[in-house]
């Protein structure tokens, strides 16, 4: 087997992102709309808790004992080969950016003021952003190599590691789309990035 379990676990951590907590009073209505100070004091989400919540959205979404380092992979982890040649130096090809798979503005019948995201998760009604604006922001984040300390690389080859790095960059861009503070954007459920 070419990839070890450690590499698979590392790749899974690249997908780790704080999941929505629809009624979290500490972080705002949708769990991602608090002030920067509120977000800085919120506990980190571990990759394991996030993976469990994908299968069971009602599960607890926070692990108070988790360290932030466990939830944020390093740039080297996102691209184990460390190949700068595989990362785009110019604009990211639109064909490598998947469609969101979510139509913005569809009201959530179970939660007033929210709209439906991927798997009918509640998301803010302004999500997902327009595709052209998202791709422009993705290009900015990848050119910077990170967004608020979250690494973002977009290699263009077809390896499994590159696909994982691209998915991570897409998720980082979605969650930091507004460029005002870490996590101020749209939740991961605003798109079906695979």
- DSSP per residue, 182-194: TT-S--GGGS---
- Cβ neighbors of 134 (< 8 A, separation 6 or more) are 97, 100, 128, 173, 174, 177
Which residues does residue 150 pair with via DSSP β-bridges, in sequence order?
147
CA angle at 114 for the pair 49 and 45, rounded to the nearest 5° = 15
Instruction: Count CB atoms within 10 A of the CB of residue 65.
Output: 9
Output the CA–CA distances (angstroms, integers) from residue 84 to 37, 75, 97, 142, in the order listed: 35, 11, 19, 12
Residue 154 has pLDDT above 80, yes or no: yes
Residue 146 has pLDDT above 80, yes or no: yes
3-state secondary structure of 151: strand
Stretch 132-161: mean pLDDT, rounded?
95
Residue 140 has pLDDT above 90, yes or no: yes
More confident residue, 52 or 125: 125
Stretch 28-33: mean pLDDT, rounded?
43
Residue 1 has pLDDT above 80, yes or no: no
The predicted structure's pLDDT at residue 145: 96
| Cβ(187)–Cβ(19) below 8 Å | yes
Instruction: Record the pTM.
Output: 0.56
Which of 193, 49, 62, 178 is closest to 119 using CA atoms?
193
More confident residue, 178 or 22: 178
Chain segment 76-124, per-residue pLDDT in tens:
333 334 433 345 567 999 999 999 999 999 999 999 999 999 999 999 9
């Amino acid at each position: 087997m070419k990839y070890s379990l450690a590499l698979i676990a590392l790749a899974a951590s690249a997908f780790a992102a704080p999941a929505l907590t629809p009624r979290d009073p500490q972080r705002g209505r949708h769990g991602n709309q608090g002030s920067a100070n509120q977000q800085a004091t919120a506990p980190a989400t571990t990759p394991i808790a996030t993976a469990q919540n994908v299968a069971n959205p009602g599960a607890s979404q926070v692990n108070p004992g988790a360290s932030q380092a466990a939830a944020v992979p390093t740039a080297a982890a996102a691209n184990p080969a460390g190949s700068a040649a595989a990362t785009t130096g110019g604009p990211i090809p639109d064909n490598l950016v998947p469609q969101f798979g979510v139509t913005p503005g569809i009201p959530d019948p179970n939660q007033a003021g929210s709209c439906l995201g991927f798997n009918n998760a509640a998301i803010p009604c302004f999500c997902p952003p327009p595709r052209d604006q998202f791709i422009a922001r993705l290009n900015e984040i990848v050119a910077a190599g990170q967004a608020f300390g979250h690494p973002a690389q977009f290699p263009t080859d077809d390896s499994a590691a590159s696909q994982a790095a691209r998915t991570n960059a897409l998720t980082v861009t979605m969650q930091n789309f507004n460029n005002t503070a870490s996590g101020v954007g749209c939740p991961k459920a605003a798109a079906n990035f695979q």
